[in-house]
Chain A
């Protein structure tokens, strides 16, 4: 049984306060309905990792490290490298996170990030093959949530993308005796750059980038990933509520608009998108 909702006890009063502010088009932290919190990022801060990036959205803070290793390919894709995305809701990040193996929230988070990267074909897996059927490069993307203040999905997706964008791949020499590290590195070229935008529905109002308070009272959320060519590459609805078809259309419109804005910031910040 894996379904226990670990909700913090929220006085109904908070939902009412949030709803009454929303009915006036305002949010408790003063943001507009379609406004993200301040977004900041840093890349390359973990020297031992082949790629790393920390993203802050308001007080939400997520660090992602990329480790690249040599390993066996999957039998059905013998000449392709492997991408493995994992997320840890580290106990230091929130009083509601507990030590132990990833729970359903951590697994969902990792799989939503993974889906966007995979659908958008971010990495040319053919270039990560060393010896077909035997040795390929494994890209481990480990998402580490350091402070949970709402909207972990967007922060995690962006930090995973930035860590891959700045990752360097060890160059191996392939000989009859096997593969050997040369000590040199090449950049990991990315073919696509998906951006994920999460919206929460509270009452019948849609807000982007929900804060923790908003997540605790929301009816449902919708995350939509948009790739560099303006295609939708992943969608995930979460939470116990519903969306009407019109609300979904509105969310799609918002996701396209906000993902462009974020993409612009990423271009400025990392300078290669």
Chain B
């Protein structure tokens, strides 16, 4: 089955077009910070607890806070039910997502403590690690944790011989390559880079540039979501101090 006909993809997008993205922050009562991201059919919740005291204490780092991250997919998030036990994929993604966010956070401001980050994939339609990072960094900002920049994330890849942006599930499964990237646009730093599939060197470089452009667009949506959140708070307190 061809995935691209007349430069249109399975969901009608152009090769270099993102799926519609919706970001909301501050949506969970109990969490210190939270965010919801919808990107096409992918739906993700992220929550931050902390900085807070770390147990067991011997894990504490006297120089900086520990960032702990759990990426998890809900049993009903995929076509076939998934076991709720963490898969090997979940364990690896939790690690690379943690590594993608660590460079952004001033962890040294909170020695001996922990910041706990939970990412729940409610529905998966490709690009969940990137959408998870997008949600997580909005949740971290919502929690008031000082950051060098927001981390944005987006995948590029190769489908039917074309370099495309923001792959959906079918494109990821049937396509030739997938290249998820996390990026801090203000600092121009790449904090997550993975790839599977086959790309020539030239295709890799094009895909990386395209993914970075996607990150820059998503970054604007992240900033807007945070602005809306603070405007809402401002209205709530009647504009005092504004």
Q: How far is the CA of A43 from the CA of B209 in the complex (A)?
A: 41
Q: Is the interface of A mostly helix, strand, loop or mixed?
A: mixed
Residues on the B chain within 8 Å of A252, using CB: 201, 204-205
- Whether A249 contacts B205 in the complex (CB less than 8 A), given A115-B196, A235-B195, A237-B192, comes out as yes
A181 within 8 A of B: no
Contact (Cβ within 8 A) B198 A242? no
Q: Is B94 an interface residue (CB 8 A)?
A: yes
> Are A4 and B66 in touch, CB under 8 angstroms?
yes
Interface stretch of the complex, out of A33-41, A139-147, A148-156, A226-234: A226-234
Q: A2-B86, A237-B96, A240-B103 are in contact. Are A245 and B208 (CB under 8 A)?
A: yes
Known: A108-B95, A111-B88. A233 touches B198 (CB 8 A): yes
Known A237-B99, A242-B190; contact A227-B198, beta-carbon cutoff 8 A: yes
Interface check B113, CB cutoff 8 A: no
A83 interfacial by beta-carbon distance below 8 Å: no
Q: Which of B99, B116, B204 contacts A232 (CB 8 A)?
A: B204
Kindly state whether residue B232 has any CB partner on chain A within 8 Å. no
- Some 28 contacts from A to B, beta carbons below 8 A apart, are A3-B67, A5-B61, A107-B91, A107-B92, A119-B197, A119-B198, A230-B200, A231-B198, A231-B199, A231-B201, A233-B198, A234-B195, A235-B179, A235-B194, A236-B194, A237-B96, A237-B99, A237-B191, A242-B190, A243-B189, A243-B193, A244-B188, A244-B189, A245-B188, A245-B190, A248-B208, A252-B201, A252-B204
Give the size of the chain A interface in residues (CB under 8 angstroms): 37
Instruction: Give the bracket for the number of chain B residues in contact with chain A.
Output: 35 or more
A2 B95 Cβ-Cβ under 8 A = yes
CB distance from B205 to the nearest CB of A (A): 7
| A173→B217 CA distance, assembly (Å) | 58
* A-B contacts besides A240-B103, A241-B103, 13 pairs, CB < 8 Å: A2-B94, A3-B66, A3-B67, A5-B66, A108-B95, A119-B177, A119-B197, A220-B99, A235-B195, A243-B189, A244-B190, A245-B208, A252-B205
Q: Is the CB of B96 within 8 A of A232?
A: no
Q: How far is the CB of B204 from chain A (nearest CB, A)?
A: 5
Question: B32 at the A/B interface (Cβ < 8 Å)?
Answer: no
Closest Cβ of chain A to B1, distance in Å, is 16
Closest approach, in angstroms, between the C-beta of B211 and any C-beta of chain A?
A: 10
Tell me which residues across on chain B come within 8 A of A19, comparing CB atoms. none
Residues in B whose Cβ lies below 8 Å from that of A1:
68, 70, 116
Residue among A2, A234, A249 making CB contact with B91, cutoff 8 Å: A2
Chain A nearest CB, measured from B48 CB (Å): 14
Q: Nearest A residue to B200 by beta-carbon distance?
A: A231
A118 located at the interface, meaning its Cβ lies under 8 Å from any Cβ of chain B in the complex: yes
Provide the bound-state CA to CA distance between A249 and B209, in Å.
Answer: 11
Q: Which residues of B contact A248 (CB under 8 A)?
A: 190, 193, 208
Q: Tell me if B208 and A118 are in contact (CB < 8 A).
A: no
Q: Is the Cβ of A242 less than 8 Å from the Cβ of B189?
A: yes
The smallest beta-carbon distance between A86 and chain B, in angstroms, is: 9
* Cα–Cα, bound, A2→B90 (Å): 10
Tell me which of B61, B102, B209 has the highest count of chain A C-beta atoms within 10 A of its own C-beta: B102
> Residues of B contacting A222 with CB < 8 Å?
193
Which positions in B face A, CB cutoff 8 Å?
Answer: 59, 61, 66-70, 86, 88-89, 91-92, 94-96, 98-99, 102-103, 116, 177, 179, 184, 187-201, 204-205, 208-209, 212
Listed in ascending order, the chain A residues whose CB lies under 8 Å from chain B are 1-5, 104, 107-108, 110-111, 115, 118-120, 220, 222, 227, 230-245, 248-249, 252, 256
Q: How far is the CA of A107 from the CA of B71 in the complex (A)?
A: 15
Question: What residues on A are CB-neighbors of B91 within 8 Å?
Answer: 2, 104, 107-108
- Cα–Cα, bound, A242→B220 (Å): 21
Question: Which of A230, A245, A256 is most buried by chain B, counting CB atoms within 10 A of its CB?
Answer: A245
A107 to B96, CA, bound (A): 12
Taken together as a complex, chains A and B put the C-alpha atoms of A171 and B86 apart, in Å, by 37
Q: Which of B98, B191, B197, B201 contacts A3 (CB 8 A)?
A: B98
- Taking a contact as CB atoms under 8 Å apart, the answer to whether B59 and A2 are in contact is no
Most buried by B among A1, A2, A242: A242
Q: Are B205 and A108 in contact (CB under 8 A)?
A: no
Q: Is the CB of A245 within 8 A of B212?
A: yes
Residue of A nearest to B86 (CB): A2
**Is B199 within 8 A of A232, CB to CB?**
yes
Tell me whether B68 and A3 are in contact (CB under 8 A): yes
Listed from nearest, the 9 A-B pairs whose CB atoms lie closest are A235-B195, A242-B189, A240-B102, A237-B193, A3-B68, A242-B103, A104-B95, A231-B198, A242-B191
